[in-house]
Amino acid sequence: MNVRIFMASAVILSGLCLFSGCKPKNMNNAVSADAATKAFVPPGQYDEFYNFVSGGFSGQMAVYGIPSGRLLRVIPVFSVDPEKGYGYAEETKGMLNTSHGIVPWDDLHHPELSQTNGEIDGRWVFGNANNTPRVARIDLTTFRTAEIIELPNSAGNHSSPFATENTEYVVAGTRFSVPADDVNGDIPISTYKENFKGYISFISVGKEDGAMDIAFQLQCPGVNFDLARAGKAKSHGWFFFSCYNTEQANTLLEVNASQRDKDFIMAVNWKKAEEYLAAGKGRKVKTKYAHNKYDENTHTAVSEIREEVTVLDTRELKDICYFIPCPKSPHGCDVDPTGEYIVGSGKLAAVIPVFSFDKLQKAISDQAFDGDFDGIPVVKYEAALYGEVQKPGLGPLHTEFDGLGNAYTSFFVSSEVVKWNIQELKVLDRAPTYYSVGHLCVPGGNTRKPSPKYVIAYNKITKDRYLPTGPELAQSAQLYDISGDKMTLINDFPTIGEPHYAQAAPAELIKNNSVKIFKIDANKHPYVAMGEPAAKVVREGNQVHVYMTSIRSHFAPDNIEGIRVGDEVYFHVTNLEQDWDVPHGFAVKGAQNAELLIMPGETQTLKWIPDRVGIFPMYCTDFCSALHQEMQGYVRVSPAGSNLPIAFSTGGSQPESK
Amino acid sequence: MNSFLFVTALIMMMSCGGEQNPEPKNDSATTSQKGGQEAVVDDESQKDVVKVAVGSPDHTTLVAAIKQAELVASLSNAGPFTVFAPTNAAFDKVDQATLDALMTDEKKMDLQNILEYHVTVSALKAEYFRDGQVLGMVNGDNITVNIVNGKVMLNHTATIIASVPASNGIVHVIDAVLLPPAK
């Protein structure tokens, strides 16, 4: 290949500069002049919204205040977090248990707030683990992960966890189709078309306690499921899933999954599926999946392996699934607040198709089908189509709604947010993002009742937006005021991991329910020390259990002797404080596992195996009080065969005089 | 090297001089300064597809057209893109009056349509192409690949004469302009 003509030179570089223009000195492109007054939350005042932002590859979920963009908390969900001890303390390890054992790092893409009557109710936020498929429920009274359920027959849980309008279910559609868990998977990859199936899990959510269970799975043709939204209002009872790779390629999807002009949105009548389930039409599939629940009384995760799931075969059980053709690898699949319009966003498409729920229903009753795909009827495109937005931008991805008849769609390739009117299919406004936007969030923008004040863009590429920090840069979010006709950029803030998707809820729905302390009287941890007199050290063979307490500004006990090299020492530390925002930490020298962080009223456990003889200091790691630096103690470690008995004390023995 | 830096710096200063003072008369809430990824100052990374085209003396017409069609920011994105880049000689084969008309603001949509017909989202090396392969282009229309005597042709019209990898995709230099199918 002749590349000589492309050789770089000074002429080229200078030409480039002239050509592209230079970055304006202030770098504040398209920023609203009154941005400061709109986005500024004065010190001591609260933000208007909680923004739950996925951490993407970090596996966690971050909570920001909107409009300030201030980071309020990182909630550990699918990855260990040394800041909170999550996955390190013995009590939380079980939360990360799977049928494969403990998975310390996963990939969280989509937060989903629970809903009642199609509106955010502020009780829970769900999140998906992509890699080892799971769904987590986070309790918004504690901002902690309360429950995680693994998904059998699945791989790459991307189309998840989207909720129905009363949180009857959250769903989980597999990105990778795979052979079912109960059939032989030792088969050539090239037999994809015959042997690979796509599974969609309907996870029921307890009305009162939020407890999750896989009610049933749908076995669907082998494609990639990407995203989903529940029907709402008139379309409640239906669910819509975007599908790509309907080419059923198993290699180089970059080329091979872009061949067809249209892929599908799969419409699922889940009420019909419930009927089949009740009629006993499901197949019991033997499998293994973990269900982990954090018991707030024992402050301990309980992990169990479940062994059966019910699968409904959508090819045999008619009227559950229908495919709607949708241009070019649809990504977003979003239902407007009325439940009538379903917006598909083909990431390689030049139009945004808007489908009509009413037309879809008519098309189904008229059997306006173009044959079938793997046994699932394919509805005629025109029969379900309300209309197309022509030339909206390049690379449409995701749509949120303002409840005023308008939609906001993100465009990755052209790096912009486009506001358009749904009924008129007309573009109303465009705003650039910096750079390469993925998902958008309007608070409540996926529900029946959005708060049409802001749209937040979550960007994949940062480059020069902030002070540089080497090759690894924080990704970013940009906040636009949408209260007027035009979108105006008013704030910009860095995020943790990849801010893949986010939802936001009015602060009023959540803030008054926030737990301040755990009641010590309700602590049912098996190794709790209910007060300093209960502090003790107990040897059981080579295991030593330290029932330890912490209160400003000492541990009990703080002198421990009789520990031997090779012992398994468990420090069960109970924080006796009953005072908001007074956690204690715990660390012991040479601990290869971790430290602890213990909230008021809570008990957490550190396992430590001393590897040598000597004196080992321990201390409080979370600045707790004026005498935090005095909060310390010692452990004496004797040789393996030592006869020194266990001894412990707090304040009993004074320093020897000589 | 010193003189090179000096010349570059001088030109940068000249070209940026006018932009240092914000427009004082702008009353609207929003300023409309342009500045997407194309404006990121980065001489360390591999060149993107736009910079590759800008760096080619044989693609000045294409570059002018990309600029007129306001596609610079999009093509500076992460992509990945395959860009079929007609040479100046290829554009010379197009009727000059038609070309001039396309470069007017009134015909901007048509120009965008034509240029977007030269881009697909996916980085396709020449060896990935197969005879009869259909490529979905950014404008929504398709291109058919033909392999003729070992050379890659598009729509039996344009031949790939060189291929240049870029940071965000690949540029295939072609010897004719591709026109989207009439609607």
Q: What is the value of ipTM here, to two decimals?
A: 0.86
Instruction: Say if B52 falls within a structural domain.
Output: yes
Residue of A349, A346, A336, A317 lying closest to A386 (CA atoms): A336
- Which one is predicted more confidently, B33 or A201? A201
Q: For chain A, what is the mean pLDDT?
A: 93
Residues in B touching A23 (Cβ below 8 Å): 35, 39-41
Which strands sit side by side in the sheet containing A238-244, from one edge to the other? Answer: A224-230, A238-244, A262-269, A321-327, A376-379, A369-373
Superfamily of the domain at A49-513? YVTN repeat-like/Quinoprotein amine dehydrogenase (2.130.10.10)
Q: Which tokens in the block code for residue A89?
A: 């303390």
Interface A-B: count of C-beta contacts within 8 A = 159
User: CB burial class (10 A; 0-12, 13-18, 19+) of residue A595?
Assistant: buried
Structure tokens at A452: 């049409």
Min distance B97 CA to chain A CA atoms (Å): 24
Q: Residue A415: closest CA among chain B residues belongs to which residue?
A: B74
Q: For residues A462 and A483, is the Cβ–Cβ distance under 8 A?
A: no
Distance from B16 to chain A by nearest Cα, in Å? 6
Nearest to B41 among A23, A31, A33 (CB): A23
Question: Strands across the sheet with A475-481, in order?
Answer: A437-441, A454-459, A475-481, A488-495
pLDDT band at A655 (very low <50, low <70, confident <90, very high): low
**Are the Cβ atoms of B20 and A415 closer than 8 angstroms?**
no
pTM as predicted: 0.91
- In three-state secondary structure terms, B110 is helix
| CATH code of residue B165 | 2.30.180.10
Confidence band, pLDDT 50/70/90 cuts, at residue B16: very low
Instruction: Tell me the per-residue pLDDT of B103-156, one tens digit each, with 9 for 90 and over.
Output: 999 999 999 999 999 999 999 999 889 999 999 999 999 999 999 999 999 999
**Number of domain units in chain B:** 1
The pLDDT, as a whole number, for residue A252 is: 85
Residue in chain B nearest A24 by alpha carbon: B19
Residue of B6, B54, B61 best to disrupt the A interface, most CBs of A under 10 A: B54
Do the domain assignments include residue B112? yes
Q: What is the pLDDT of residues A461-489, one digit of tens each?
A: 999 999 999 999 999 999 999 999 999 99
pLDDT confidence of B17, banded at 50, 70, 90? Answer: very low
Residue A460 φ/ψ, nearest 5 degrees: -90, -25
Domain hosting residue B73, numbered range: 45-127+160-174
What are the residue ranges spanned by the domains of chain A? 49-513, 520-649
Min distance A335 CA to chain B CA atoms (Å): 24
Which A residues in the span 475-494 are in contact with B, Cβ-Cβ below 8 Å?
A: 486, 488-489
Decide if pLDDT at A529 tops 50. Answer: yes
pLDDT in tens, A276-288: 999 999 999 999 9
A351 touches chain B (CB under 8 A): yes
CATH class of the A520-649 domain in this structure: mainly beta
Q: Pick from B29, B41, B124: which is nearest to A33 by CB?
A: B29
pLDDT tens by residue, A186-219? 999 999 999 999 999 999 999 999 999 999 999 9
From B59's Cα to the closest Cα of chain A, the distance in A is 10
Peptide bond between residue A104 and the one before it cis (omega within 30 degrees of 0): no
Question: What's the helix, strand, coil split of chain B in %, to 5?
Answer: 40, 20, 40
Average pLDDT estimate for A336-340 = 98
